Chains A and B, each alone.
Chain A
C-alpha cells in the first residue's frame, strides 16, 4: 500500500534521502534548495538515518566532499540551486570523469545575474555538458520518484555516472501537493546495497582516483565516459520498468501527452508541462489536435526516440526556460532542431524563451503559443523562430 501524503517538492526529496539513508550527505544552504539539507539534518539529529552529514562551508566543498566519499566507496548526495551549482562547476566534471555515482537534488533557480532567487533552468542547463545524467520532474511526485530511481541508474555497472534530479524552484519545491510515498523497506529493497567494483577504502585493491591523465589515455577515458552516457538510456528504461512494477507509475525517457494524433505540439521541461496539459485538454475539447512532449531525461538526450515521437507533428514549439545567448535560441531548441534534422525535416519549429527569473507562466501564455502554432500550421509561414512569451517588449 502506497502512503498517501502531502508534501512540498523539497520535503519529498528530503524524505527520499531519508529512505535511501546514504553514507554521506554534504551540502551548503542556498535558496530554494535549502530545505532539503535542513529537513535531512533533522533526520540525522533524530537518529532516523545513520548518514554522516557534512556541513561544509561552500558548494565547491560540498561536491568535493561527495567526490571523496563516493571515491571511498560510499553513497554520497547533495542538494543545491543556481549559484551553488555554479560554484560546484569544476567538481561536477571531476565527479563525472572519475565515474562516481553521486546523486544531486538540483532545485532549479535562475543563475545570477541579475541576482534572482526564482525559477528558471539556467543553472542545470549550464551544467548539461558536465557529464552528469539529468532527470527533470514536473511535480513533487516525479522529484521523489526520479530521486529514488537515480541511484539505480548512476550506480549501474555499465554506467557509473553522477545523476542530477531537477525540479522547479518554489513552483514545485515550495508547493505542498498530494504525493504517494513508498514504504521505507520498499525503497531500501529497490535501491539495494551499493557495492562498487573499485573503491579507495578497499585495502585488498589499492587504487588512485583522479590522477593526472595525459595524452596517452585521456582521450580513451573521455570516450569511455561518452559510452557510459550512451549506455545509460537503456538502463534508465530498465530501472523505470522495475519502478513501475513497484509503484504503478510509468516513467520513460520523456512523456507523451496526447501526442499520438497531435498536429501541433510543445516540447517542454518541468512544472509548466502540467499547466500546458490543462491547456491541451481545453484545446482538445474544442477540437484542436494539440499535444505535448515533456522531457524527463535531458542527458543523455533521447534523440532517436524524440524524433520518432514528433515526426508526424506539423508545427512544433520548443519551450526554453533558459537563455543560452547563442543568439539563435535556447538549449532545448538547439537539441530538438538537431534531432529532427534529416529525420523529420518537414516540421515547422519555433522556439519560445519563457518564465525567466520566476516570471509566472499562465495557462493563457501557453494558449497563445498553441494559437500561434495553429497559424503556422495553417499558413505554412514560420516567421521569426526565436521568440519570447510573457516578456514585456
Chain B
C-alpha cells in the first residue's frame, strides 16, 4: 500500500503509551490521513510491558493484525531494551526512537545489530522539567513526529494543543507543560 507508515510502541503500563499512540492517530487523522491506533491488550497492570500500534496511510487501511515489520519503533521505557526484542522486524530504512539519557552510540549494543537509524531523547528529564512529573509519552510523541516526518511539525503542534485542551479540559494547568515537553523533545532528539 502506498505511503503506509507503521509504528510500534513499547512501554510499560501506566506510562501513557496507548494514549500516545491514540494522540498520534488523532493528529494524523486531523491532517486528512487514514489511521489506525490500537493497543495489544495483555495483563493490564502498572509496570507490565505493553505494545501499541499505529498505521497511517493516504488510503483506507484494510489490514487488521498486529504490526510485524514496522517502519518505526518507539521505546518509551529503556528497561525494555534488555527484556524485549524491540527491533524485531524493524525496517532498516526506518528508525528506533528510545527514551534514554544515553546517546544513540551508547544504546546500539542493546539493539542486536540493528543497522537503521537510532535516535534517543531524554524524555524523563524533559517531562520532569516541563511537568514536574514523569510522563514520558508526550515527549516521545514529539520525537516520533520529528524523526518520522509523517506530518508537518507546526501542524502537529497546533493539533496537539487542541487535543490537550479537549483531553485536559478539567486540568488546564498541564496543557502548557505538555506542549513544552513536545517542543523540547522535537529539538533535543539525537541521531537524526
Q: Which residues of A contact B (CB under 8 A)?
A: 6, 117-118, 138-139, 168, 170-172, 174-178, 271-272, 274-275, 277-278, 360-363
Contacts and interface: CB of A to CB of B under 8 A. Distances in A.
B26 interface: yes
A277 B36 CA distance: 17
Contact of B64 (A6, A118, A175, A176): A175
Closest CB pairs A-B (n = 9): A175-B38, A274-B62, A271-B64, A176-B37, A6-B29, A274-B64, A277-B62, A278-B63, A275-B63
Given A174-B41, A176-B35, A176-B36, A168 B68 contact: no
A177 B62 contact: no
A153 to B, nearest CB: 26
Of B38, B41, B62, B66, most buried by chain A (CB within 10 Å of CB) is: B62
Contacts of B35: 6, 176-178
A360 B42 CA distance: 13
Interface residues of B, number: 20
Contacts of B25: 6, 176
B62 A275 contact: yes
Nearest to A6: B29
Interface of B: 1, 22, 25-26, 29, 34-39, 41, 60-66, 68
Contacts of A118: 41
Contacts of A271: 64
A130 to B, nearest CB: 27
Contacts of A172: 64
Nearest to A257: B62
B36 to A, nearest CB: 5
Contact of A174 (B39, B62, B65): B39
B65 A275 contact: yes
A278 B36 CA distance: 15
A312 to B, nearest CB: 24
